[in-house]
Structure 1
Amino acid sequence: MAKNSGRNRKSSGPSRKPAKKPFWRRLLRGTVLWGFALALLGAIFLGVAIFFTERELPDYSALKSSQNGQMIVVRARDGSELVSLGPSYGKWLPADQIPAIMKKAMVAVEDRRFYSHFGVDPLGLLRAVYTAVSGDRRISATSTITQQLARNIFLNNSRSYVRKAREAVIALALERKFTKDQILELYLNKVYFGGGAYGIDAASRKFFGHPATELSTAEAAIIAGLVKAPSHYSPTADAEASVERGKVVLGLMAKNGAITPAEAGTIDLSDVNIAKEKGQNSVRYFTDWALPQLDLLLPETNGPIEVWTTLDPKMQAAATRAIDANVPDGAQGALVSLDNDGAVLAMVGGTDYVTSNYNRATDAVRQPGSAWKLFVYMAALEAGYTPSDRVVDEPVTIDGWSPHNSGRNYAGEIDVRTAFAYSKNTIAAQLGNEVGFGTVASMARRFGITTPINTQPAMVLGTSEVRVIDMTRAFAAVSAGGTSVEPYGITKVTASDGEVLYQHKSVRGQVLVPHYVAAGITDLLQTAVATGTGRAAQIGRPVAGKTGTTSSNKDGWFLGFSSGVTTGVWMGRDDAKRVGGLSGGHAPARAFADYMKVAVAKRPVEEFDTKLQLPEWQLEPDDEYLQGDPDDYYYVDENGNLVPPGDGTRPAGDLPRYEDGTVGPGPGPGTPQVPDYGPPAAPPAASDDFLDQATGKKGAAADPGLRPGQGIAPSPTPTRTPAGAY
């Protein structure tokens, strides 16, 4: 009994519950368990995806026979064929015939862990994810050779997470189905090297004139360097860039043991002989600019297509002749011509596409000189200036910077029109300082300048580098009355069966500046050609334009428009060295005139709209009176009641009379006299001085800007000076 009672006492005591674990331990445990579960599910899903992808992959012989690229027929504005482009394939080289140095070069520069990873490089993937999260939020280009092969054969080049995931799955499947040597053989025979060349044999024949089996170490380094950016590093596009890229490849080869550092140091890439291309012309500058846009305009398609463009063959030929006939020896030239809706009518990116396919019309950035004053004067016009306003051409210093005019002479008091026509640097500096250099930069941005813009005082003379196509676009917007213009080169794309895959839709441009600003700057531009620095651009019909010359005659520009066609011309050396005698008012202006005579020959003559219709805030009181009958104006008494003028009920002291006879409710000219409480006459609509000025009785100095090209004061003959642009 005692024993049982003992058990009862023990069992009847208080029960002990297990101690509760801390929250962080429970959270950690849950995270680990859920993470493990999700990882397991992901691994299962990935394994299933790889399994089914591997089953659907074509066999090796089918992959060898498949071709990348597509046939593209490019047509001109009139439907004629400009050029036919398509993939160029050399001889298929089996793995044992591909030079070992070519394999080593490609692995060194594109995928140094190619032989150790399983299709996806985890370290490279981590770098890509880090870049996407911390940088521009896009997947970075860190694909393995196997991933690149998967993309080239089965996918497109869009940068998205979905495409990257599909690329990784296909790469893993390829690694399971084929050997490393087979994958490298496929890659080297299919990768794109630029200029339509697919595979190392086609690239070797195109760039060096011999089969890939004869590639040297230097040539292999150049070819391996092309994959990253075929058009930029192409030996025929930019020999210097190609050599610099080849040096990078040689360094990577030495680092990875493909060659010794000593061997890398003895290789001179500049000694490599580049084969000259045949059958190319200036049209290719345009096609090189327009065709890459198909990636954005078209859905994914691999079939043959026809691309209908805006290029006019006759205008293109005239543009080529104009550049060739006027460009100084040793210099390059570029031209872009736009229709009033932005259609590219002609494009020349250099003097010889065969020698250099670098497109200076769309890719080169150069200082525009005084052509930049377009934005300075538009900012001033928008701030309230008119072409007839008086300014003083005199020495000026802004934040320690003292600009000089051509010839270092000064004209004294002149009007804005004259200052622009003769490209007075001191006036541009004063206007830029008054409206604000940031305001000038904003105006340039508004009109389509995409390159960086500095806001130092000297920026008013065009020290910020720009592209020819961007400056031409800006002048085209002025020609369009201050409405934005978007350059385009493709009107439609059709499939082989005639199906329309893309059709350009005209979009009404945005209003960039008020009408009076566009009219005012057109007045100035027309005067610059009629009597100023752009006289060489005259073509026998109204032309508006502006010259530009940079310091030491490194760049010469002329940009202008007539009869709905806007054209920009640039000349200079690629190495930015001085070109003797080069100025915007000479060779570029003559090239502009030679081209425009052909471009507008069949177009009606168009007079420019230079009539200033100033906004209300810019009208002076006398101007406002001219807009209506003075008897229509009423006064307001102290109680807010309307009081017609002349009824004798005007409150005492409300409307003082001034010495010049004018009467008004607020401050005005003259000194107020003792209030007159008698019946007053209605205030005159305008003073005698204003009427004489408005009716022209006071001569050209009173011209309010309605007669463009008049009122130009005599100026000394301009001469070149390294200190300024004109």
Structure 2
Amino acid sequence: MSRIIRRFLQFLTGLAALALLGFGGLIVAYIALAPTLPSVEEVRNVELQVPLRVYTADGQLIDEFGEMWRTPVELEAVPETLKQAFIAAEDRRYREHPGVDYQGLTRAVWYLVRTGEKGPGGSTITMQLARNLFLTSERTYLRKLREIFLALRIERQLDKDTILELYLNKIYLGQRAYGVAAAADVYYGRPLAELTLAQQAMIAGLPKAPSAWNPIADAERARERRAYVLERMLDTGYIDQARYDLAMAAPLTAERHRREREASAPYVAEMARDWATDRYGREEAYTGGYQVFTTMTAERQADARKAVRRGLHEYDERHGYRGPLDRLDVPALDEEAEPLFERLSEYPSPGALEVGYVSGVGEQSATILTATGQTIELSWSGMRWAREQLGRNAMGPNPETADDILSEGDVVYLRQAGGDWRLAQVPEPQAGLVSLSPQDGRIEAIVGGYDFSLSKFNRALQAERQPGSAFKPLVYSAALENGLTPATLINDSPVVFADVSLEDVWRPENYSGRVFGPTRLREALINSRNLVSIRVLRQIGVQDAIRHIEKLGIPGDQLPRNLSLALGSGEVTPVELAGAYTAFANGGYGVTPYFIDRVVENGEGVIYRAYPDRAISASEMAPARPSEVGPQRPDARPAERVIDERTAWQMRSMLQDVVREGTGRSALQLGRADLAGKTGTTNDQQDAWFSGFGGDLVTTAWVGFDELQTLGRYETGGRAALPVWIHFMGAALKGRPETEWSRPAGLVTVRIDPETGQRTDSDDEQAIFETFREENLPKRGTEADEEDVSDGRSGGDGTPIF
């Protein structure tokens, strides 16, 4: 045997030994690593991380939360050319290999032997899936072995289509987008089916370096990757030369798209996010694919947002102009408009405000260039309000010309009101509004402030403030439950209390500073008499009143144990106060405000559904709910009665008179007879409230500063908060029928003397009608004609009256 042959045989023997050694090493490595690899069942049941999505009751997307944007899709929904693009770019032998492409792996090993460096190639789609699902991206030999073994395991038990579907939903494609559907949305703002071939190729080129080479981060490298994918598709025969040429010539159209929000309700989104993370945990809530459907409707949310902003701007205009945002160098900006627009775009635009630059000032007009390039002629009617603000209760003289207000170069805010432009500014105070169904407490609109971008504090839900006289109906309902009547006379006269719990001698007064002597309860509520309310509370007892108020849903630990309770010195949130008023609107039932209707888990269906208490007589009380909100659900329980239905009826009647004759009469402009409510104002006008109901809604509005300070002289609940309530209810109840409350049995209506509250004769020209419980009929002053009755406000339903 020649020497050459012996050397060759030795070489083959050594090579075989090395092969055996390598094979043995692989067996040993597999034995060692196999127990640490996930089972195929884990791969099959892997939960793709899908963000939390929040919707309105009518199915409009409000917002989504989570680090990963993902919209799982079935393989059938992925365009064929997009699947081909990924296979051509990442694993052209995908349909042929068993999970590991030995040809590609051999090339990668040979490259390592030749160069001593790790090179490209060898990683299949299945191996990438294994790495993305369970392994890290560290470039080590041990990780690569684990990847190979897991890929082989996956391929043995899952078919190619299932693996490809998992891959296309799992792969990271830059800009927080995970999966091809999310990438189509992020880069192009459109569904997969609408992508062009060039756009599909762009997405298929992203797995190589998704963070660095995506078309937003580096357009040139992204273009190169797109060309690479198209060339591979041409080489494999997936596309012809004509389609290749057309796609190569296509311009880059990718840009950062935010998932389209269909409804603007950021305070609602934050409430839902907080609820979901508390219930499911932060990590699970953000990745579990939960779809949270709130009780709010998009239309009513928009009405509430507009009402709050409009009311705050109206307040702001009453207190003067604080001057422009800034003043720019006019000569430098006159030369070219583009720098001006760039500068204007740097200013924030909270609410619906437009930033503008004053380019010209006339006698009683001004020309404004907005950041969007629009030219607006601001008329005198839109700026004449702008007296200089000197303090909360002081303003300068009325302007006579536009240059008393504006100068060329001023940067100002504008807003639209009724189609006209007005000079504006960010309002100084804040506001909160909540509107809910008295039937079951379903919150249908909630706004926590002027603009969520300025402050995320939700004043409708979180701000605990003194409600002032808006709290009195709760005390008066306790009085009616304890035997007093709307005609009970209470002396409206000065009182002085030496109360240890109040830390000093207390001398409460009426808002007007006047006293009126003996006053009927109805009249006292209509005119918001403080001294009467205090005497009423003293008569029924503070502890009994608190027990009654707790049944209406106000926590007792928030309430003072002294007579100041009668004036609303306890602290409540707008949601709590609205919840308490529902008992007056629904016939005496206690319902709890709620804002989550149901939760749908990705692939699992409904996993949570609200189970509210519902007023039994709700169907008689209010019109049917709009069809777009969804049908009434049977999965509700009867609400507990918290006050006598006769008390609820009497309170509605008294609160309707507050609107007809008292501090809430501005609401008459809505032209509805079913409105009822009460204003509230605290000391020094620090808080302004209106809480009331009509139609199928109970709504509470609050206006005030976050840090306690006066809203200004005369800024009462009727002036500052009631307009917000009116703006909202006018829009929300438009075209909706008025509520007709049936009068319960056990009530009778009689003529009374308005001075004494006693029953009187039919020939008494000063007599008025009042409604009482049968057991609480007042004494007769003189013999009355029981046949002479009225079918007016109190007895118009045909109920026998006296």
Flag the structure with higher strand content. Answer: 2
TM-score (norm 1): 0.50
Q: State TM-score, norm by structure 2.
A: 0.45
